[in-house]
Structure 1
Amino acid sequence: MIDWIYVKRLLDYLEEDVMPEDITTKFLEGIRARGIVRCKDSGILAGNRFIVPFLKYLGFSNINGEKDGREVKKGDIVLNFEGDADILTVERLILNFLGKLSGIATITNLMVKKAKEVNPYVRIAGTRKTTPGFRLFEKYAIEVGGGDPHRYNLSDAVLIKDNHITLYGNLEELIKRVKFSVSFTKIIEVEVSSYEDAIRAFKAGADVILLDNMKPYEILPIVNELKSKVLLEASGGITPDNVIDYAKTGVDVISSGYITHSYRSLDFSLDVEKI
């Protein structure tokens, strides 16, 4: 059932590229071929988890795909399959899909490795700064890279941000109201931008405190005061270039929109052989 949900999404993407028809490939009717996908880059592979069942649904055969999470390098064959000339119809979708997901997995893995060098227990997490209609796959790629997907949508957890506080007017009363209104299974996270507000949020009963757009030197006093009392998350402008500085503060979680909006796609190519 879960595979069908993923396949349906991929069919929608294919429809965008094909409708009403592939006016070039239709002239190759009756020709059998083998498609071979090679990596032209180096990084972490992600995407075959969905591409393989998608190709099976479309009727392709002898499908062999490397497992997601594998480190790949230039020249590695990551997928091969057989079918008619429609291999060329799905070519661009497959390459785009593998490239984007592998790019996210690769940059996530890089940030995880950098952060854990100085803080073995820190988590690198995603954000909701994702591509509309593609979040499910982007969050998966983060996990393949060793990261935490964070919230999938607005119902996953309570996250009280500055604008919520501005509209409600009183942080302590808002947290109290939320605590007695939502399920006990939902954590309550509060976004703050100062030491004083972090202490307020902690005393009001927040489960997680999000230190938003704060410099590492601003975060350190908060970590020294609240470490092990409440989960501490740093977010805002965190990239591979400064992730080590944030990890050194001792926060529990580092969330970064960079891994889903500023990553570089890995490069893949598809070659065909007539059979």
Structure 2
Amino acid sequence: MDKNLLRSRLQEFLTEDIGRGDLTSESIFSDTDSGCASLVAREECIAAGARRVAGEVFHVLNPRVSITNCVEDGTQLQPGDLLMTVAGPVIDLLKGERVALNLLQRLCGIATLTGKFVQAVEGTGVRVTDTRKTTPGMRMFEKYAVRAGGGSNHRFNLTDGVLIKDNHIAACGSIGETVRRTREQIPHTIKIEVETDTLKQVEECLACNVDIIMLDNMDTETMIRAVQMINGKALVEASGGVRLETVREIAETGVDIISIGALTHSALSCDIGMDWVE
């Protein structure tokens, strides 16, 4: 994660939550009161963002806050396991609590769901990736959590690669013409990926020598036929409606990549709390 962008986003989140000040905490405590608290898992989950995100929340508030005992990203946690300890001015710990927990719960939830998908395809050689179906303003954090869970990132934004989708093709007229126009404009170092939903479109992609062919919302029988047709001439990505119950079957069709929007748009936040130590 870009550190400058990270701190800028965290400052925005803190400003949103704190407003003109923490009326409750500032009424009870003085600037000289100090304390210590632990962030603890309440359920089984995979850790993501303890040091680099939640810890940074407190450092944005006050660089004097001490962050210790941070668990490494990707660590499998059990209920009661410690993610990190924070110590410093009581007011700053309380001001940062909600933002730090919101982010940590969200990122651990994404990492945990990603880990389940990765485990489900273990041994197949298939790469599990995310998509751009992320929460606006949270893409950097959510894609970071996917990697913590053992997954990989697809495009971060539209400048990261060419992906010709159904509406590009519909607006242009055909796969062949869309690819031709694209090749005239992009550097030779950029790969071209095309989304398909029929075997006829797969044939068109092969005729155009595209680099990556996405099989979108195909049933597994059609995917098997598509993989046989492609026969190593392009990377094959499966996408669309992938569930934990179906991801293994999809992986066994012979595709190289499975992209899953649910990793970021459907992950549930994990139960993590901040317990006062002293």
TM over 0.5: yes
1:193-212 to structure 2, matched below 5 A, reads 193-212=197-216
After superposition, the C-alpha distances for 1:135-190 in whole angstroms (9 at most, x for unaligned) are: 01111111111111100011111111111111111221221221121012221110
Query: 1:47: which partner in 2?
Result: 49
Question: C-alpha distance in 1, partners of 2:157/2:190?
Answer: 13
How far apart in 1 are the matches of 2:172 and 2:202? 18
Structure 2 CA distance for aligned equivalents of residues 180 and 14 of structure 1: 46
Deviation of 1:217 (Å):
1.2
Structure 2 counterpart SS, 1:82: strand
Shift of 1:106: 0.8
CA contact (8 A) 1:59 1:83 kept: no
TM-score by length of 1: 0.95
Aligned counterpart, 1:31 = 33
Contact 1:101/1:265 (<8 A) preserved: yes
Structure 1 residues 71-90: aligned runs within 5 Å: 71-85=76-90, 86-90=92-96
Decide whether aligned partners of structure 1 residues 127 and 224 sit closer, same or farther in structure 2, where only a CA change above 3 A counts.
Answer: same
The answer to whether the 8 A contact 2:54-2:101 is kept is no
Cα distance in structure 2, aligned partners of 1:227 and 1:267: 45
Identity %: 37
Residue 88 of structure 1: how far off its partner (Å): 1.1
Deviates more, 1:194-203 or 1:45-54: 45-54
- Deviation of 1:193 (Å): 0.4
- Deviation of 1:241 after TM superposition, in Å, equals 1.6
- Contact kept, 8 Å, 1:161 with 1:190, in 2: the verdict is yes
In the alignment, structure 1 residue 116 sits paired with structure 2 residue 116: no
Call closer, same or farther: CA 1:173–1:211 in 2, change over 3 Å.
same
Alignment TM-score, normalising by the size of structure 2: 0.94
CA distance, structure 2, for counterparts of residue 139 and residue 189 of structure 1: 20
Do structure 1's residue 138 and structure 2's residue 138 form an aligned pair?
no
Task: Select the residue among 267, 275, 278 that pairs with 1:271.
Answer: 275
Asked if 1:243 corresponds to 2:247, the answer is: yes
The one-letter code matched in structure 2 to 1:116 is E
Corresponding letter in the other structure for 1:40: R
**Other-structure match for 1:10:** 10
Q: What whole-Å deviation, never above 9, does each CA across 1:83-138 have from its counterpart, x for those lacking one?
A: 11221111111111111111111111110110124x1x101010111000000111
- Label 1:165 to 1:251 Cα distance change in 2 as closer, same or farther (>3 A): same
Task: Give, in whole Å, the separation in 2 of the partners of 1:52 and 1:38.
Answer: 14
| Partner in structure 1 of residue 163 of structure 2 | 159
Q: In structure 1, give the amino acid aligned to 2:109.
A: G
Question: What CA distance in whole angstroms lies between the structure 1 residues aligned with 2:201 and 2:4?
Answer: 46
Please tell me whether residue 150 in structure 1 is matched to residue 154 in structure 2: yes
In structure 2, stretches of 5+ residues that fail to align are none
Q: Give per-residue Cα distances to partners, 1:198-228, cap 9 Å, x unaligned.
A: 1111211211111111111111101112132
Structure 1 residues not aligned, in runs of 5+: none
Distance in 2 (alpha carbons) for counterparts of 1:234 and 1:20:
48
Match of 2:98 in 1: 92
Write the letter of the residue equivalent to 1:6: L
Instruction: State the match for 1:213 in structure 2.
Output: 217
